[in-house]
């Protein structure tokens, strides 16, 4: 969860089936867009019906879906403007209440309970119970049930006039048992049950999400532990090579010196050069496993040494700038060294660069590394082959962020920002 | 006059090899050996050696951190660091903490003794990485940006000799170009 840094309030977990505020908001916006498309189709159909069946132009049928369609635009913007979870849920609830009112008016105008359009409540109930917290969802569902049931009973009692578009239903409307049956089948059973069902689904979804989040957290912790074990292991091997193997080789050379006369000059030189070769090979091996300089003298001398040896091999011009204020964790130093090595390799192999600039700094609990080359550049979205994916993953495990600024012909700048102490990343 | 040496190194084989090498020389006398920093300190206090050979990586403390502790014991103790590392940064770090220099254990015994004698004779304090004074002069001339001819003129040598020094130093420091050698010299602080 390195993307969103929006504030998140503590709420009923069920109310937040999406793990992330931005995800929730975009989910809501998607449902509004789907409504808009549906309403555009409704509007077209309604206009055709009016034209074909010669229904009066004063009839509300064609206007309601058009008005509703237009209303989705300001509502979408209203939803998008919300910055906190609480405000987002309130705005969404407000949207549903407006929708319920609109549907109720439409159902009344189009023939009361007999009109099939009462099914529109369905979407409101489903969406409200999926996206809203329990209480907000219950309010919207209650409102749907009350509005629909109230409409049926008020029309039956004559408090509001009954309008019917279709003649055969006229008599049914005056029949109490028909109205009661509709009331039970419609608002009470269908909508209340739908609300309950969707809420159950949402709960399952939220539980799965929480489980996934826990697992992701565990994986992240395990990766970090593995990484540090891997580092320890390499340090141990490099130390072994340096402190034991090379020392023994050096001892051989020292012990040979007094025997020089007995061996003869040529043999002595030959043996010495074999031992020297073994020392050089072991040293190269130890360095590639883990540079001892990193543990003994820290990041900056190691980076300078790295820069020199890469410059020596490749002919690149490499500058190292360092401004380290606070001490860095061993794990962070390892990470930044590893990133620099990978990036330098890329610059040599792929970028055809002439100069590379490595800057490392740390302040306010964050370490920052940037590596800039003047090479050919590449499309940052297509970095599979450049070994950068592994780098990005490793940076992520340490709680850092890697960004790439590159483009054809304008070189590449790779920046890494990471908490300078490991516990800072654990406490996230 | 013999130089009295104290040898602190945790690697027993190396310690023994060094002791034999030094004892075979008439002008050196190894008065004590230790395998860790704390024993080393105690011995230094007791034996008052002239010269301390101190390994850079010890089991109990970082050798670099020990330099000051040894120097605080007073006397004219001079400290030379021993290291397996080829990186000049170690020499610079040792010099910054007050050591007279750093000698690589993988150097040839002849060079090793030469460097030690130089320090024992009270040679200048900026011996780096077992360089002889001549090698150091050549390197610092080149690090300052002098050409072979200019360096030869300043040092009163023939350009051919300068070239010979460079070849040998490049082999020793494991660098393959002149530019690499100069960069290395600058990392040593020779400029």
Task: For residue B170, give the CATH number of its domain.
Answer: 1.10.10.10
Mean pLDDT of B79-99: 80
Say which CATH number the domain at B46 has.
Answer: 3.40.50.2300
Flag whether B127 is in a domain: no
Flag whether B63 is in a domain: yes
Decide which of B189 and A263 is more confident: A263
Pair B18, B104 in one domain: yes
Flag whether B125 is in a domain: no
Task: With beta carbons under 8 A apart, name residues in chain A contacting B102.
Answer: none
Per-residue confidence (pLDDT) for residue B191, from 0 to 100: 65
Pair B19, B60 in one domain: yes
Pair B83, B29 in one domain: yes
For A144-188, how does the pLDDT look when each residue is reduced to its tens digit (9 = 90+)? 999 998 988 888 888 888 876 655 556 777 777 777 777 777 777
Residue A99's contacts (CB-CB under 8 Å, 6 or more residues apart) are A124
Pair B49, B138 in one domain: no
Picking from A239, A243, A257 by the largest number of B CB atoms within 10 A of its own CB, the best residue to mutate is A257
Question: Among all chains, which residue has been given the structure tokens 């609300």?
Answer: A195
Pair B45, B91 in one domain: yes
Per-residue confidence (pLDDT) for residue A425, from 0 to 100: 42
pLDDT band at A77 (very low <50, low <70, confident <90, very high): very high
Show the 3-state SS of chain A: CCCCCCCCCCCCHHHCCCCCHHHHHHHHHHHHHHHHHHHHHHHHHHHHHHHHHCCCCCCCCCHHHHHHHHHHHHHHHHHHHCCCHHHHHHHHHHHHHHHHHHHHHHHHHCCHHHCHHHHHHHHHHHHHHHHCCHHHHHHHHHHHHHHHHHHHHHHHHCCCCCCCCCHHHCCHHHCHHHHHHHHHHHHHHHHHHHHHHHHHHHHHHHHHHHHHHHHHHHHHHHHHHHHHHHHHHHHHHHHHHHHHHHHHHHHHHHHHHHHHHHHCHHHHHHHHHHHHHHHHHHHHHHHHHCCHHHHHCCHHHHHHHHHHHHHHHHCCEEEEEEEECCCCCHHHHHHHHHHHHHHHHHHHHHHCCCEEEEEEEEECCEEEEEEEECCCCCCCCCCHHHCHHHHHHHHHHCCCEEEEEECCCCCEEEEEEEECCHHHHHCC
Pair B48, B114 in one domain: yes
Pair B89, B22 in one domain: yes
Mean pLDDT of A196-207: 84
Number of domains in chain B: 2
- Tokens found for residue B24: 């075979």
Pair B102, B138 in one domain: no
Q: Domain range for residue B112?
A: 3-120
Task: Mark yes or no for CB contact A254/B21 under 8 Å.
Answer: yes
pLDDT band at A275 (very low <50, low <70, confident <90, very high): very high
Pair B26, B112 in one domain: yes
| Chain B: residue whose CA lies nearest to A250 | B106
Per-residue confidence (pLDDT) for residue A427, from 0 to 100: 40
Task: With beta carbons under 8 A apart, name residues in chain A contacting B18.
Answer: 254
Flag whether B95 is in a domain: yes
* Domain final position from B71, B98, B120: B120
Per-residue confidence (pLDDT) for residue A323, from 0 to 100: 86
**Chain A, chain B: beta-carbon pairs less than 8 Å apart:** 89
Pair B148, B171 in one domain: yes
For A281-319, how does the pLDDT look when each residue is reduced to its tens digit (9 = 90+)? 998 898 888 888 888 888 888 898 888 888 888 888 888
Per-residue confidence (pLDDT) for residue A386, from 0 to 100: 61
Pair B29, B74 in one domain: yes
Flag whether B17 is in a domain: yes
Flag whether B128 is in a domain: no
Task: With beta carbons under 8 A apart, name residues in chain B contacting A248.
Answer: 11, 13-14
* Domain final position from B120, B150, B168: B120
pLDDT band at B160 (very low <50, low <70, confident <90, very high): confident
Flag whether B160 is in a domain: yes
ipTM: 0.70
* Domain final position from B75, B98, B120: B120
Task: With beta carbons under 8 A apart, name residues in chain B contacting A246.
Answer: 84, 106
Pair B83, B169 in one domain: no
Flag whether B176 is in a domain: yes
- The answer on pLDDT for A407 being more than 50 is yes
């Amino acid at each position: 969860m390195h993307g969103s840094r929006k504030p998140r309030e503590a709420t009923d977990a069920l109310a937040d089936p999406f793990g992330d505020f931005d995800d929730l908001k975009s989910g809501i916006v998607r449902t509004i867009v789907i409504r808009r498309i549906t309403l555009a189709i409704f509007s077209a159909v309604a206009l055709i019906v009016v034209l074909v069946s010669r229904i009066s132009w004063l009839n509300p049928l064609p206007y309601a879906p058009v008005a509703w369609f237009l209303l989705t635009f300001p509502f979408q913007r209203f939803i998008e403007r919300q910055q906190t979870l609480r405000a987002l849920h309130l705005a969404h609830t407000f949207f549903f209440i407006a929708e319920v009112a609109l549907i109720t008016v439409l159902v009344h105008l189009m023939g009361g309970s007999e009109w099939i359009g009462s099914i529109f409540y369905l979407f409101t109930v489903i969406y409200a119970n999926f996206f809203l917290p329990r209480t907000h969802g219950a309010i919207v569902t209650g409102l749907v049930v009350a509005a629909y049931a109230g409409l049926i009973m008020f029309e039956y009692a004559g408090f509001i006039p009954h309008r019917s578009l279709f003649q055969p239903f006229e008599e049914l409307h005056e029949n109490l048992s028909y109205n009661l049956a509709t009331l039970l089948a419609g608002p009470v059973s269908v909508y209340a049950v739908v609300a309950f069902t969707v809420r159950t689904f949402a709960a399952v979804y939220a539980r799965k999400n929480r489980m996934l989040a826990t697992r992701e957290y565990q994986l992240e912790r395990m990766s970090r532990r593995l990484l540090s074990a891997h580092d320890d292991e390499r340090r141990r091997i490099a130390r072994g090579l340096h402190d034991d193997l090379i020392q023994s080789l050096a001892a051989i050379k020292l012990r040979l010196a007094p025997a020089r006369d007995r061996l003869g000059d040529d043999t002595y030189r030959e043996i010495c050069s074999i031992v020297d070769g073994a020392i050089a090979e072991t040293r190269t091996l130890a360095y590639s496993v883990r540079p001892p300089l990193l543990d003994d003298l820290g990041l900056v001398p190691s980076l300078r040494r790295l820069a020199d040896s890469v410059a020596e091999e490749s002919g690149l011009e490499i500058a190292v700038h360092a401004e380290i204020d606070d001490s860095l964790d061993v794990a962070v130093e390892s990470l930044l060294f590893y990133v620099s090595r990978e990036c330098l390799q890329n610059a040599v192999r792929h970028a055809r660069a002439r100069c590379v600039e490595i800057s490392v700094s740390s302040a306010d609990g964050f370490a920052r590394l940037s590596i800039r080359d003047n090479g050919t550049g590449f499309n940052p979205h297509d970095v599979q082959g450049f070994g950068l994916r592994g780098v990005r993953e490793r940076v992520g495990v340490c709680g850092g962020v890697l960004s790439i600024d590159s483009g054809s012909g304008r070189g590449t700048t790779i920046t890494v920002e990471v908490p300078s102490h490991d516990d800072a990343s654990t406490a996230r | 006059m013999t130089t009295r040496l104290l040898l602190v190194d945790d690697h027993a084989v190396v310690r023994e090899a060094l002791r034999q090498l030094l004892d075979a020389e008439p002008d050196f006398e190894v008065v004590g050996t230790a395998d860790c920093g704390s024993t080393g300190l105690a011995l230094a206090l007791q034996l008052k050696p002239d010269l301390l050979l101190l390994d850079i990586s010890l089991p109990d403390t970082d050798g670099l951190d020990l330099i000051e502790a040894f120097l605080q014991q007073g006397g004219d103790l001079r400290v030379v660091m021993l290291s397996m590392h080829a990186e000049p940064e170690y020499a610079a770090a040792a010099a910054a903490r007050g050591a007279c220099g750093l000698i690589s254990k993988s150097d040839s015994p002849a060079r090793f003794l030469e460097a030690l004698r130089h320090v024992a004779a009270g040679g200048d304090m900026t011996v780096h990485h077992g360089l002889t004074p001549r090698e150091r002069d050549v390197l610092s001339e080149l690090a300052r940006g002098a050409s072979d001819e200019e360096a030869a003129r300043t040092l009163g040598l023939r350009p051919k000799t300068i070239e010979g020094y460079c070849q040998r130093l490049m082999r020793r420091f494991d660098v393959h170009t002149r530019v690499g050698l100069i960069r290395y010299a600058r990392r040593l602080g020779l400029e």
